[in-house]
Structure 1
Amino acid sequence: MDIACAFPTALSSPDDIAVAERLGYTRAWVYDTPQQSPDVWMTLALAARRTERIGLGPGVLVPSLRHPMANAAATATLTALAPGRVAVAFGTGFTGRRAMGYPAISWSYMDSYIRAYRGLLRGETVEWEGRRMRMLHPEGHAPARPVDVPVLIGALGPKGNAVARELADGLYATLQLPEFAKDYTWVPYLTWGTVLDEGEPPDSEHARTAGGPGWALAYHGAYEFGGPDAVRELPGGAQWLDVVDAEPGEERHLAVHSGHCVELNRADLAAWNAGGHSVLTDVTVSGTRGEVRRKLDDLASRGVTEIVFQPCGPDIEAELERFLDAARS
């Protein structure tokens, strides 16, 4: 199983990716979350200039945020900066849409978008929004078409699986690992957590800052996909909901997604302090070095070919080192 990493696209991400390359990570993915992050393509371009080997890609792009021509042109640019190192993943929009109050895009839209995007990279004339278009970049403005870049799609259910099987080179998985993951030869699985010292409790300061942001996704995901009742089933869920429900309904999504994948927001902290930390090792790839290794072995047996670890906390390099050491043990 390849050991890759991911970053929630911060100003430090290009330097963090350079560190990941030095440590031996095979690929770095960065998020397309404009409501809380710098631009994903600018970040990747800077990372390309600071690295030589590590694979690079957005994981995941949300189609509704950019015209397919804009993403095709950006992909071609990154390919010129990092030839042979680029892969692109697409998703329907968890943080990238829900944090702005929108639902996920439809799979029919994803299907049309990927067809147009891939057609543009092949140098074809495609139709989008009723108009015919083609990449017209002259020599020196982009690599010659076709631009051959692997495309992955994040899918959890049958509709997404159908689109991914037809149009993608792999399955990009996060939050859940579907049974059909075993049907793909390339399955990056995005995960969070931290390697705990022997005897370290799950409510330590290190566990909270390094493992907490990934732990909080259990609450964010439960709320978005299962509603308040699903959150109440989690330890500290009632306290989490008390904070979120105090916000006006039209702005409640802001309270849910604030700090997403970076730090605990007010609702998350309320749940953590109310005992939610007790499930840290259940909902993230957290635990001692040996426990993390066993979790990775289990994921590999279920179809994961590339583990994608997002470090959190004040010492990103130390978290990258801890995880890589556990993964290689």
Structure 2
Amino acid sequence: MKFGVTVVPRVSDWKLFVDLEAMGYDAAWAADSQMLYSDAYAVLALAAANTSRIRLGTGVSVAGVRLAPVTAHSIATINRLAPGRVFLGIGTGHTAMRVMGKDPMKAAAFREYLRVLRALLHGEEVDYVLDKEERTDIRFLHPDEGFIDVAHPVPIYVAADGPLALKTAGAYGDGRVCSHNQTRARLQKSLEVMREGASAVGRVLPENFHTAALSYACVLRPGESMTSDRVIDEIGSMAVATLHYWWELYQKDGDTSTVAGRCRNLWDEYLAFTEKMETPPARRYQQVHLGHCAFLPPEERRFITEDLIRATGGLVGTPDEIVAMLREREAMGLNEITLLPAMAEARRNLEDFAKQVIARY
């Protein structure tokens, strides 16, 4: 099992990446959400120039807000600063698009996006179409002049849950990123679908295909419970983000199929809470996403329950309990857990985890 951290990137706090390297983490993922955080690539550039070991990448880059050649050149630029230890997490943009009131990129467009992206990151020329105009051939013209690095491979980790996205991950990805609460059966089924996607383009899913899960953790101290104040301070922003996700799907078409059974009552309370928000319904997505994964608005604190933590797969417990949870996830086929604590508590939370969990894993 590898241990990563998903960082809410604030450009003035880029030294967090340096601290994560010192703590012994394997990878640091910079979240990408243009209406919420600093630019992921600007922060990664600072991190790359000031670290030497830790792997760096996006967690995850949003296809819908940049052209495929732009994403390729951005991550290849970071790779020039940290050759061989850069990766690209990429997704359709469930939060980054919905926080603007827009839909994530459609499956067919995402597949084409990754086809172009993968070719460029392998130093190849590829045919490319923009806005239904005539298809043209593109390639990086100066790959050997120090502007970018495509000589050292940049693995592509695709955020995928639905069958079409999973097939795309199998066809053009080097790994997959998923949410933290998936079952063994679901993970195995996802691998089968990705193998189908790889086969469709004449590819065999590699043995070292990377499987990472976004999660959160808190090591309990004696006498603490899952909902002690310190615990909520450290993991509440990530736990409540699942409610944001359920809300997004519900707003789109009334879908509540992803709402965990043990959280049905909590979901009803949260839905009633959002319906009383002062923001007009047409712009309510802005208020719902305030603090998303970065900090917990005080009015949302009451929604952090043991049921929500358990339903979302939070790694909250004693060191031995967390190690057991990690062993179980490793046996399920996961290669990496990447943790996302609240910004204000990130260093303390992650240092505790490194000293009390990673050290004994």
Q: TM-score scaled to structure 2, two decimals?
A: 0.83
Deviates further, 192-201 or 204-213: 192-201
1:128: Cα distance to partner? 2.2
1:174 has 2:175 as partner: no
1:267: Cα distance to partner? 5.2
Aligned to 1:60, the other structure's residue is in SS state strand
Verify the 8 A CA contact 1:76 1:147 in the aligned structure 2.
Answer: no
The equivalences for 1:95-114 within 5 A come to 95-114=95-114
Aligned to 1:265: 297
Distance change >3 Å, CA 5–CA 145, structure 1 → 2? closer
Aligned to 1:128: 129
Query: C-alpha separation between the residues in 1 aligned to 2:162 and 2:321?
Result: 29
For 1:280, which of 273, 284, 309 is the aligned residue? 309
Query: C-alpha separation between the residues in 2 aligned to 1:271 and 1:145?
Result: 45
Distance change >3 Å, CA 278–CA 165, structure 1 → 2? closer
Query: C-alpha separation between the residues in 2 aligned to 1:57 and 1:323?
Result: 21
Aligned to 1:152: 157
Aligned to 1:327: 358
Distance change >3 Å, CA 248–CA 110, structure 1 → 2? same
Task: Output the aligned Cα RMSD.
Answer: 2.3
Query: C-alpha separation between the residues in 1 aligned to 2:164 and 2:22?
Result: 39
Deviates further, 162-171 or 288-297: 288-297
1:35 has 2:65 as partner: no
The equivalences for 1:195-234 within 5 A come to 195-226=219-250, 227=254, 230=259, 233-234=263-264
Distance change >3 Å, CA 52–CA 151, structure 1 → 2? same
1:243 has 2:273 as partner: yes
The equivalences for 1:33-112 within 5 A come to 33-112=33-112
Aligned to 1:194, the other structure's residue is in SS state strand
For 1:300, which of 306, 330, 334 is the aligned residue? 330
Verify the 8 A CA contact 1:88 1:150 in the aligned structure 2.
Answer: yes
1:53: Cα distance to partner? 0.5
Query: C-alpha separation between the residues in 2 aligned to 1:144 and 1:221?
Result: 36
Query: C-alpha separation between the residues in 2 aligned to 1:192 and 1:234?
Result: 22
Deviates further, 70-79 or 167-176: 167-176
Query: C-alpha separation between the residues in 2 aligned to 1:278 and 1:125?
Result: 48
Query: C-alpha separation between the residues in 1 aligned to 2:12 and 2:336?
Result: 24
Matching residue's letter, 2:229: E
Query: C-alpha separation between the residues in 2 aligned to 1:173 and 1:35?
Result: 22
Query: C-alpha separation between the residues in 2 aligned to 1:158 and 1:136?
Result: 36
Query: C-alpha separation between the residues in 2 aligned to 1:51 and 1:145?
Result: 20
Distance change >3 Å, CA 264–CA 110, structure 1 → 2? same
Distance change >3 Å, CA 58–CA 125, structure 1 → 2? same
Deviates further, 218-227 or 2-11: 218-227
1:137 has 2:169 as partner: no
1:182: Cα distance to partner? 5.2
1:50: Cα distance to partner? 1.2
Which consecutive residues of structure 2, in runs of 5 or more, have no partner in the other structure?
Answer: 193-206
Deviates further, 283-292 or 16-25: 283-292
1:13: Cα distance to partner? 4.6
For 2:167, which of 162, 167, 172 is the aligned residue? 162
Query: C-alpha separation between the residues in 1 aligned to 2:336 and 2:234?
Result: 21
Matching residue's letter, 2:281: G
Q: TM-score scaled to structure 1, two decimals?
A: 0.90
Q: What are the Cα deviations for residues 242-284 of structure 1, in whole angstroms up to 9, with x where unaligned?
A: 3311331111211221111112235523434xxx355434422
Query: C-alpha separation between the residues in 2 aligned to 1:100 and 1:175?
Result: 25
> Taking every aligned residue pair, what percent have the same amino acid on both sides?
27
Deviates further, 168-177 or 83-92: 168-177
Query: C-alpha separation between the residues in 1 aligned to 2:341 and 2:86?
Result: 21
Q: What are the Cα deviations for residues 115-140 of structure 1, in whole angstroms up to 9, with x where unaligned?
A: 11122232314212134232223643
1:171: Cα distance to partner? 1.0
1:28: Cα distance to partner? 0.5
1:241: Cα distance to partner? 2.3
Which consecutive residues of structure 1, in runs of 5 or more, have no partner in the other structure?
Answer: none
Query: C-alpha separation between the residues in 2 aligned to 1:146 and 1:315?
Result: 38
Query: C-alpha separation between the residues in 2 aligned to 1:165 and 1:207?
Result: 37
1:22: Cα distance to partner? 0.5
Matching residue's letter, 1:24: G
Deviates further, 154-163 or 115-124: 115-124
1:255 has 2:279 as partner: no
Aligned to 1:21, the other structure's residue is in SS state helix
Q: What are the Cα deviations for residues 8-45 of structure 1, in whole angstroms up to 9, with x where unaligned?
A: 21235521111010111111001110111111110100
